[in-house]
Amino acid sequence: MALYFFVFSVYTPTMNDNELVSHARARFDHESARRLLREKYEAKMLFAHAGGMWRAGPELLSTLNCCVMDKSVVLLDLYHNPVQINTKELWNLASERWQESMNAWLLEFDQLNQQR
């Protein structure tokens, strides 16, 4: 028969534990702030044009670049509704919205990383 001895001790947090907890909280706060920042700027990329809702981004810009020879085409908007659009007008709006949002997002992202 084997005897097992258990030593019970009272756990007291040390300085390293406190630092670990504060680092974990800061990391969680940073990730949460990054997620909120992404959601904020993804929402700013939405816009209405020609009776449809569009999201400025690489997919829309690439699609419009493929249709550059056609003056107007029918595309599906975000809600899967067919909308006849002028390719140049929509490309200009989407490109402008994309660049403005990405530049502003980058500035806030850099500020967020400096606070860390």
Q: Report whether pLDDT(25) > 50.
A: yes
Question: Which residues does residue 48 pair with via DSSP β-bridges, in sequence order?
Answer: 53
Q: What token pair was written down for 30?
A: 């940073």
Sign of the torsion angle spanned by Cα atoms 38, 41, 42, 43: positive
- Residue 8 is predicted with a pLDDT of 47
Helix, strand, coil distribution of the chain in percent, nearest 5: 60, 15, 25
Crossing angle of helices 15-44 and 87-115, in 10° steps, is 170
Angle at CA 12, nearest 5°, toward 10 and 15? 160
pLDDT: which is higher, 4 or 22: 22
Q: Report whether pLDDT(26) > 90.
A: no
Per residue in 38-93, pLDDT tens? Answer: 999 999 999 999 999 999 999 999 999 998 788 899 999 999 999 999 999 999 99
Q: Where are the domains of the chain?
A: 38-115
Q: Which of 26-30, 52-56, 79-83, 101-105 has the lowest mean pLDDT?
A: 26-30
